[in-house]
Amino acid sequence: MRDTFLSFSLPLIGAEEIDEVVAALKSGWLTSGPRTRQFEQDFCQAFGTPAALSLNSCTAGLHIALKVLNIGPGDEVITTPMTFAASVNVIEHVGATPVLVDVEPDTLNLQPDAVEQAITPKTKAVIAVHYAGHPVELHALRSICDQYGLHLIEDAAHAIGAAFDGQPIGAGSNLTAFSFYATKNLTTGEGGMLTGSAELLERARIFSLHGMNREAWSRYSAGGKWAYDIVEPGFKYNMTDLQAALGLQQLRRFDRMQARRRDIVQAYNSAFRNHAPFLTPTTRDHVTNAWHLYVLRLRSSELTINRNQFIEEMTARNIGTSVHFIPIHMHSYYRDKYNYHPDDFPVAHGAFQNMLSLPLSPSMSDQDVADVIDAVLDIRSKFARRRAAA
């Protein structure tokens, strides 16, 4: 057993990131400025996005997306219960009504057929979450949205580096929000990016900084002019140059970090896929999985302990884990407001009861990976259900 605790998802930060942050500190420009603009440009180039807006979170991106599309009271937005609360909270923030539909049994992404069945005259948009880094069925969802005149917003918090039919997530003209939270595949500590058409992002940029028509960099840099106007009741959602400094260097090492993630996933799959108590993650042939999470699902009929006890056993072996996610309809606010019951979305609820996320980070050593595998297999050997001889 390990002598030290292995955290669930440590970021990989090197001398390059530290040096870039120090350079930003010495530059005299700390808030949104030249580094945030450079980060946006580099992001577009790396992932083929038509335009990009750096923000302080993915949540900000989703909120602004709804505002830019004029979604508000009286409107409905269809989304998934298998997501973090931010994906649904933003719908409440604009005064619209979230409409949850169940997920696919294998990918745990939105079921396109269920989305279509949930559409009403009040439906204005679909927020599709690329769960764990596996893209949703974009062709089907785009077709549905086009047929019914709906906006498609992509929550790509898990999906930087993912692709659908060879096209990077975020390369479309629709609004797509990415996360650079501390545990994400690319981190700025806190932060996010909103991508989409240049026309949509022009208004989104105004929303992101109080509704001002001119940001600080254009007012306070050499040759800037002080005057500005408030043209929208906006928010304080901008990214700082200190955050962008991290992002610039993370972007340069991104391919190497993703390769390491894939190596870890391959090791996990090889170790677990042939054991009856475990269901390993799915990746469909027409997608590139970003592998933000490695979600191992337990077959309860094959074990004498439940998921919570399994996690306790992992913790006792100094291995950190998590659960992604407690479905939205099980949280008290949404449960009480919309009178949800756990089995209203049986696929999401069933998956939640049996899932845990294993450590997955490019900062992990080969020994770290081996320790995780050994811990999982040791728990299996101790708690696998014994079958009576025929």
Contact 190, 166 (CB under 8 A): no
Q: How far apart are CA 182 and CA 190, in angstroms?
A: 6
Catalytic residue among 124, 184, 337, 382: 184
Distances (CA, A) of 363 to 18, 235, 307: 16, 35, 26
* Per-residue tokens: 34: 């030249």
Tell me how long the chain is.
Answer: 390
Angle at 185 between CA 181 and CA 186, to 5 degrees: 65
Distance between alpha carbon 10 and the CA centroid of its chain, in Å? Answer: 16
Known catalytic residue at 67: no
Which residues form the catalytic set? 184
